[in-house]
Amino acid sequence: MTGAPAPGGWLQAVAGDAATAARLSEARQIKDMLRVEAAYSCALGAVGHVPADMAEAAARAIEGARIDTDALARDAAMDGMPVPGLVRQLHAALPETLHPALHDGLTSQDVMDTALVLALAEILVDFEARIGRVEAVLARLKARFDTAPLMARTRMQAALPMTAGARIAAWARPLAVHRTRLAELRPRLLRLQLGGPIGTRHSLHGQGGAIARHMAVALNLQEPGVAWHSDRSALAELAGWLSMLAGSLGKIGHDIALMAQQGVDAAQIAGGGGSSAMAHKENPVGAEILVALARHAAVLVSGIHLALDHEQERSGASWTLEWLVLPGLLTSAGAALGRAEGLLEGVESLGDGPAVRAP
């Protein structure tokens, strides 16, 4: 969705998600936008609006076009988004004979939103797999420490004897529900955006429905039958899902940070971070980062909800706000998945040591 959505360098290593950041990179986004433009050209051919070979030739030329990203940025600074500049470059790159098959009837929002959805589709497949991996580590931990005594703590106070297994089960439970939620969200989110300039499909040569069906098949997306230019609720739902995921993982991190305290001594973690000043320390770095990522996601979810106020037929303000917020939300949720898996993999023991007594 953007050129560099996530922190890079050491901060990306600490609290970022290189895979998700790469999927959201400008280069990939350009590729996705070209893929949408090409699918549109093909669909124009399929419905007979342009000759099939012209459509095919245009699609090939579009997908093979070399985009000048400096020019793209310069144009975007004026236009407020990259599509007009991208289309200008495509117009220049394609022979004029192919122009009837290029972008004609489409609008910027169709291209950008569909390109975003293509990225989201892949990212969500990845996240779902990562949730599965976190669940698998939790299942192994549960098998290992199921009956290990653990003092339950409520309101930050020792409550009653419990087992580590009970806490691990509580960690795992929301993850399964998040998978269910994802399954429900997907068809609402992974939809073709196709509406033309004002979202009515009136610009689509009288064949909006047919074009949309062709594109949806080609891009492996739902065809919602109408544009969702000004209905951003699927993105808000995604934002909530990402933050719920980060929040559930943040709770695991918070619990482990509390368990790893000296005096509580209910978790041994390998691979804690070092201190520049205290050689004896091993910090439960991953646990703390999970807490930070959950808070970050909880803050950002607000930003996407604010963008629901998408006035009239297209709101540049709300749309831009989405671009500013969504990448960080995606990378923080992704980073939380990575950190949770790593932290849990490093667990050497869970459960109270013999020194810990019930109150």
Q: Report 156-175 residues binding a copy of itself (CB under 8 A).
A: 156-160, 162, 166-167, 169-170, 173-174
Q: Would you list the DSSP string of 81-122?
A: SSHHHHHHHHHHHS-GGGGGGSSTT--HHHHHHHHHHHHHHH
Footprint of a copy of itself on residues 256-275 (CB under 8 A)? 257-258, 260-265, 271, 273-275
Q: How far apart are alpha carbons 83 and 310 in whole angstroms?
A: 19
Rg of the chain over Cα atoms, rounded to whole angstroms, equals 24
Query: Which of 107, 17, 135, 143 lies closest to 313 in space, CA to CA?
Result: 107
Q: Which of 19, 47, 62, 111 binds a copy of itself (CB under 8 A)?
A: 111
Q: Count of residues for the chain?
A: 359
In the set 152, 182, 210, 217, which binds a copy of itself (CB under 8 A)?
A: 152
Nearer to a copy of itself, 54 or 321 (CB): 321
Q: Is 9 in the site for a copy of itself (CB under 8 A)?
A: yes
Site membership for a copy of itself, residue 182 (CB under 8 A) = no
Residue linked to tokens 């709101």 = 315
Q: Does 146 bind a copy of itself (CB under 8 A)?
A: no
Q: Which DSSP helix (H) or strand (E) runs through 334?
A: helix 316-345
- Of 123-142, which residues contact a copy of itself (CB under 8 A)? none
Question: Can residue 334 be called a binding residue for a copy of itself (CB under 8 A)?
Answer: no
Q: Is 181 in the site for a copy of itself (CB under 8 A)?
A: yes
Stretch that binds a copy of itself, among 2-10, 55-63, 113-121, 127-135 (CB under 8 A): 2-10
Residue placing its CB nearer to a copy of itself in the complex, 52 or 275: 275
Q: Which is closer to a copy of itself, CB of 52 or CB of 61? A: 61
Beta bridge partners of 222: 191
Token reading at 98 = 């192919």
Q: Does 299 bind a copy of itself (CB under 8 A)?
A: yes
Contact call for residue 93 and a copy of itself (CB under 8 A)? no
| 57 near a copy of itself, judged by CB under 8 A | no
**Which parts of 233-252 interact with a copy of itself (CB under 8 A)?**
233-234, 236-237, 239-240, 243-244, 247-248, 250-251
Using CB under 8 A as the binding rule, whether residue 78 contacts a copy of itself is answered as: yes
Q: Are 333 and 123 in contact (CB under 8 A)?
A: no
Angle ∠(311,315,320) on CA atoms, nearest 5: 140
DSSP-derived letter for residue 227 is -
Residue 165 neighbours by CB distance under 10 Å: 19
72 scored as a contact of a copy of itself (CB under 8 A) = yes
Q: How many CA atoms lie within 13 A of 185 on its CB side?
A: 22
Is residue 83 part of the contact set for a copy of itself (CB under 8 A)? yes
* Total Cβ atoms within 10 A of residue 324: 13
Residue selected from 131, 289, 330, 350 as contacting a copy of itself according to rule CB under 8 A: 289
Work out whether 226 is an interface residue with a copy of itself (CB under 8 A).
Answer: yes
Residue 222 touching a copy of itself (CB under 8 A)? no
The H-assigned helical ranges of 16-163 are 18-23, 26-46, 52-64, 69-79, 83-93, 108-145
> Which residue in 268, 306, 345, 349 binds a copy of itself (CB under 8 A)?
306
